[in-house]
Structure 1
Amino acid sequence: MAQEPLRAERPRRPHKDDGGPDGQNKTTGRGRGPGPAYAAIDLGTNNCRMLIARKTPGGFRIIDAFSRIVRLGEGLNASGALSDAASERVMEALKVCAEKMERREVVKARCIATQACRTATNGPQLMARIRDELKLDFDIITPEEEARLAVLGCLDLMDDRFDAALVVDIGGGSTELCWVDLAEWRARGGYASGGRPPVRTWSSAPVGVVTLSERFPEPGENRAEWYEGMKAYAADLLKVPKGAKRLRPLFEEGRAHLVGTSGTITSVASVHLRLPRYERARVDGLWMSSAETRAACDRLSGMDLGGRAGEPSIGRERAELVLAGCAILEAVMDAWPADRLRVGDRGLREGLLLNLMRKPRRRRRKPRKANREAAE
């Protein structure tokens, strides 16, 4: 039987029962430590995010978190390099991460950088500076690993009553798509015992909320034409890999669903729910129909920058980028129609943590030559 997948528990308040200074558990007082802490950092084109967690039976519990908009990819399209100002913002954010990791006594961590550092001429130099000054080792991961980590982070959002799922991860500089075979996963035992679902294929489009916003500055008029222009541009970059073509009938027949993971998706969900403030508990795991998703995008595209900034669940920093994300999302929905979208307030960091905590598979040892001869 396949190994049961780990899953993330809902975040709780930090410091609640992480053990006192003597290593005793505050709840039981039995001298048992709370277990080792693991950390995952995702340095993206727009955000720097970190989670610190401890393993629990069947999953993990988040004990600390950090998120800051650093705009690492600002101006990258024009210059081809990360700016000094953006690099300094990253260093300040990662200094906070390093301090949290030290305070939480993290025993194992994985730190990754994505599209901005993949494409920037000076991306490796920034990684070296981070290693020298902050003692954090970053990997600039491939688009394929980024796509697969997004799938792993959203594992329990996939509904194996469907036959396929498309995981959509809209980032600052790229958009990753992963086509998952839920029918085979269901045959293996699904979420309960099917292990990781089979990824049939993936693609990475060089378009994200930062790059698209910079290419299409917001106009004062002809806003509908401007928005449609962003959709068309994104659609041209969303290439369909060969392995995905055989899954297309499942989408056309209503046997597939989308899984969305990014700030765009959670913003659209918040607008749909008309939340007075962002509530992860109501957004993460939410099902939205195609009509509801497009209605929320329409509502946002009808607002100017001030109107979007006034949305309590979006705010000023996201207001500049959210429409580019909506355009990318609608381009994906046009190409891969599905009646339902599952919203995930999670992604790469959760996938990284699950990989860190997963026990390595034991390889079967080949019988020694002498033993084989004796058996014969």
Structure 2
Amino acid sequence: MAQNSESYAALDLGSNSFHLVIASFHEDKLRIIDRHKDMVRLAAGLDDDGKLSEDAQQRALDSLAKIANRLVDVPPHQIRVVGTNTLRAASNATEFMRKAESILGAPINIISGTEEARLVYLGVANDLSPEQRSRLVIDIGGGSTELVAGNQNPKRLESLPMGCVSFSIRFFPNGEINEKNFKRAVSAARQLIAPYVEQFRGYWEEVIGSSGTIRSVSKILDLQQLCDTGHVTRDGMETLRKQLLTAKHVSELNIKGLSDERRDVFPGGFSVLYALFEEMGFNALHVSGYAVREGILYDLAGRFRHRDKRDETIRQLVAQYAIDQDQGERVAELCQRWLPAVAEHLVTPAEEAEDLLRWAAQLHELGLAIAHGGYHKHGAYILSNADMSGFSRQEQARLSLLVLNHRRKPKTTDTASYGVVPDWLLVCLLRLACIFYRRRQAITLPNTVTLSCTAPDQLQLSLPQQWYDANPLTAADLSDEADLLQKSLGISLAIQSIDDDAVANA
């Protein structure tokens, strides 16, 4: 079956439910082709040690098997699968992801809380009129709640560890409902919200809510004629609170408009929303039909339209840490020049390898902003732990690994993070490019300085004899590098000097 090159797919592996949206774009607006949702309750499968249970994993894998059939018509590079709070927290997430990726045929990208918040805002902003109004966007998920304030772009982003599944399990054990449990849940949520109230104050003129809990509350209030369609008010919340507390157990909830699939996690989600009204001090919110998956689609499409948020993030880091931009570009250019020679032997897909190598070259001196000694380690630490807009945790881990290993002895232990497999040939390219530009001079290497690769562990560097003789320090560095790569990685780097007459006749 032919794939539809105009279609894009976003799969959100949330803590409560899995959401798939397949869409195309017309004049920068989404045209929905297909939607699918499964209530998987992934967060309910986390034990006290943060391990995802076999039952929860199986529920998720069964859901993904159905979803995989819907993805066959979408080009693989136009599919993005995102894991959020529960997969960030699960100690055995890598094990689950291997199984899931084999079913989907696509990689799962674990994103940070603030990146999730950015994508929520991007989705909601594209659902609203483009007028210049500042907004507070609230998204209550299964395991986390995202708060974002801004206008056309987000200005303040936070992700708080409270959601409809996690709070229902924690404060309404076994589905028990009473005034005491409700007050404890609201109090705990307010404690989490309180440190951020002043940060957000003054950054919004209207409040927008998205995702399941808020949409469910809006639907209930609308059916009971307590609020206008698509709105939630403080008065409506008070009426709903009384309805909630008339039941002693979730099985007894008899709230008009509450769906059966939402019933078990409604008390926790409602408590979080109630606390937000109380602590943030707003009286009403509008409800958006868009959320993180629509944000993923807009972000993904932007990558194909020269609006890649990741490039902007790299530029911001270069400016923020006063990195020598010219040196970074020199190293990047040489890496890009040699990349085709090793492409067929890489672990990393070619297109991704090109981006990662360019970004790593631009950022390889990031750690100098902290200290010269061990600066490769400082840079790697920043890249592992920073909130980098547009990047998944796996992409950050790959970048961090490249920067960590661009100099000194390669670190072959403790390199795997988020299931990332080191691509040592990319490391070799970056290391060699850094050696050639160690003197930080704006020189152009002759085209006769070439690199070839006959096997994943066999590199050959060819240099004109005249150039080799004129650059004895670089030649010595290359000899040392060959020894180091052989001893540390088992990669052979053969250095061949070419007779100048042979070069001239080539």
Q: Paired residue for 2:55?
A: 85
Hey, what's the Cα distance between the residues in 2 that align with 1:162 and 1:360?
A: 24
Matches for 1:172-183 after TM superposition, within 5 Å: 172-180=142-150, 182=151
Tell me the CA shift for residue 44 of structure 1.
0.9
Residue by residue over 1:139-164, the C-alpha shift from the partner in whole angstroms, topping out at 9 and shown as x without a partner, is: 11000110011101111455787853
SS in 1 for 2:208: strand
Matches for 1:205-220 after TM superposition, within 5 Å: 205-217=160-172
Hey, what's the Cα distance between the residues in 2 that align with 1:67 and 1:104?
A: 18
SS in 2 for 1:240: helix
Structure 2 letter corresponding to 1:209 = C
Q: Paired residue for 1:314?
A: 258
Matches for 1:330-349 after TM superposition, within 5 Å: 330-349=274-293
Tell me the CA shift for residue 218 of structure 1.
5.0
Native 8 Å contact 2:22 2:32 kept in 1: yes
Native 8 Å contact 1:82 1:122 kept in 2: yes
Native 8 Å contact 1:72 1:87 kept in 2: yes
Q: Paired residue for 1:128?
A: 98
Residue by residue over 1:213-233, the C-alpha shift from the partner in whole angstroms, topping out at 9 and shown as x without a partner, is: 111135898712221111001
Hey, what's the Cα distance between the residues in 1 that align with 2:172 and 2:118?
A: 32
Tell me the CA shift for residue 350 of structure 1.
0.4
Q: Which stretch has the larger CA shift, 341-350 or 70-79?
A: 70-79
Q: Of Structure 1 and Structure 2, which has the larger fraction of its residues in helix?
A: 2
Structure 2 letter corresponding to 1:74 = A
Hey, what's the Cα distance between the residues in 2 that align with 1:78 and 1:342?
A: 36
SS in 2 for 1:172: coil
**Structure 1 residues 294 and 226: alpha-carbon distance in aligned structure 2, compared to 1, 3 A threshold:** same
Q: Paired residue for 1:259?
A: 208
Matches for 1:195-210 after TM superposition, within 5 Å: 197-210=152-165
Q: TM-score with structure 1 length normalisation?
A: 0.73
Question: Which of 80, 84, 88 is 1:118 aligned to?
Answer: 88
Tell me the CA shift for residue 301 of structure 1.
3.8
Question: Which of 23, 30, 46 is 2:16 aligned to?
Answer: 46
Structure 2 letter corresponding to 1:199 = P
Question: Which of 176, 189, 198 is 1:245 aligned to?
Answer: 198
1:234 aligns with 2:189: yes
Hey, what's the Cα distance between the residues in 1 that align with 2:63 and 2:54?
A: 14
Structure 2 letter corresponding to 1:263 = G
Hey, what's the Cα distance between the residues in 2 that align with 1:84 and 1:355?
A: 33
Residue by residue over 1:210-260, the C-alpha shift from the partner in whole angstroms, topping out at 9 and shown as x without a partner, is: 11111113589871222111100111122534xx62652x48xxx722211
Q: Paired residue for 2:235?
A: 291
Residue by residue over 1:253-273, the C-alpha shift from the partner in whole angstroms, topping out at 9 and shown as x without a partner, is: xx7222111211011111101
Hey, what's the Cα distance between the residues in 2 that align with 1:104 and 1:361?
A: 21
1:74 aligns with 2:44: yes
Q: TM-score with structure 2 length normalisation?
A: 0.55
Unmatched runs of 5 consecutive residues or more in structure 1: 1-20, 24-32, 183-196, 277-281, 370-376
Q: Structure 1 runs of 4+ off > 6 angstroms? A: 159-162, 219-222
Percent identity, aligned pairs only, is 28
Native 8 Å contact 1:37 1:107 kept in 2: no
Tell me the CA shift for residue 105 of structure 1.
5.8
Tell me the CA shift for residue 357 of structure 1.
2.0
Tell me the CA shift for residue 205 of structure 1.
1.3
Q: Paired residue for 1:96?
A: 66
**Structure 1 residues 315 and 229: alpha-carbon distance in aligned structure 2, compared to 1, 3 A threshold:** same
Higher relative contact order (CA 8 A, sep 6+): 1
Q: Paired residue for 2:250?
A: 305
Question: Which of 275, 299, 304 is 1:355 aligned to?
Answer: 299
Native 8 Å contact 2:277 2:283 kept in 1: no
Unmatched runs of 5 consecutive residues or more in structure 2: 312-325, 327-441, 443-506
SS in 2 for 1:78: coil
Tell me the CA shift for residue 58 of structure 1.
3.0
Tell me the CA shift for residue 127 of structure 1.
1.3
Hey, what's the Cα distance between the residues in 2 that align with 1:77 and 1:207?
A: 16
Residue by residue over 1:51-95, the C-alpha shift from the partner in whole angstroms, topping out at 9 and shown as x without a partner, is: 011111230211111100111111415231111111111111111
1:270 aligns with 2:219: yes
**Structure 1 residues 293 and 258: alpha-carbon distance in aligned structure 2, compared to 1, 3 A threshold:** farther
Hey, what's the Cα distance between the residues in 2 that align with 1:53 and 1:335?
A: 37
Hey, what's the Cα distance between the residues in 1 that align with 2:200 and 2:167?
A: 28
Hey, what's the Cα distance between the residues in 2 that align with 1:307 and 1:234?
A: 25
Hey, what's the Cα distance between the residues in 2 that align with 1:81 and 1:271?
A: 35
Native 8 Å contact 2:142 2:166 kept in 1: yes
Hey, what's the Cα distance between the residues in 1 that align with 2:176 and 2:251?
A: 14
Native 8 Å contact 1:38 1:106 kept in 2: no
SS in 1 for 2:269: helix
Question: Root-mean-square deviation (CA), in Å?
Answer: 3.1
**Structure 1 residues 122 and 221: alpha-carbon distance in aligned structure 2, compared to 1, 3 A threshold:** closer
Native 8 Å contact 1:110 1:356 kept in 2: yes
Hey, what's the Cα distance between the residues in 2 that align with 1:36 and 1:111?
A: 18
Native 8 Å contact 1:301 1:323 kept in 2: no
Hey, what's the Cα distance between the residues in 2 that align with 1:233 and 1:273?
A: 28
**Structure 1 residues 150 and 124: alpha-carbon distance in aligned structure 2, compared to 1, 3 A threshold:** same
Structure 1 letter corresponding to 2:234 = S
Native 8 Å contact 2:172 2:267 kept in 1: no
Hey, what's the Cα distance between the residues in 1 that align with 2:260 and 2:85?
A: 24
**Structure 1 residues 337 and 157: alpha-carbon distance in aligned structure 2, compared to 1, 3 A threshold:** farther
Hey, what's the Cα distance between the residues in 1 that align with 2:258 and 2:177?
A: 23
Q: Which stretch has the larger CA shift, 157-166 or 288-297?
A: 157-166
SS in 1 for 2:285: strand
Structure 1 letter corresponding to 2:213 = T
Hey, what's the Cα distance between the residues in 2 that align with 1:259 and 1:93?
A: 30
Hey, what's the Cα distance between the residues in 1 that align with 2:21 and 2:175?
A: 39
Hey, what's the Cα distance between the residues in 2 that align with 1:246 and 1:119?
A: 26
Residue by residue over 1:168-219, the C-alpha shift from the partner in whole angstroms, topping out at 9 and shown as x without a partner, is: 1111111111122x3xxxxxxxxxxxxxx23221111111111111111358
Structure 2 letter corresponding to 1:306 = S
Q: Which has the larger radius of gyration?
A: 2
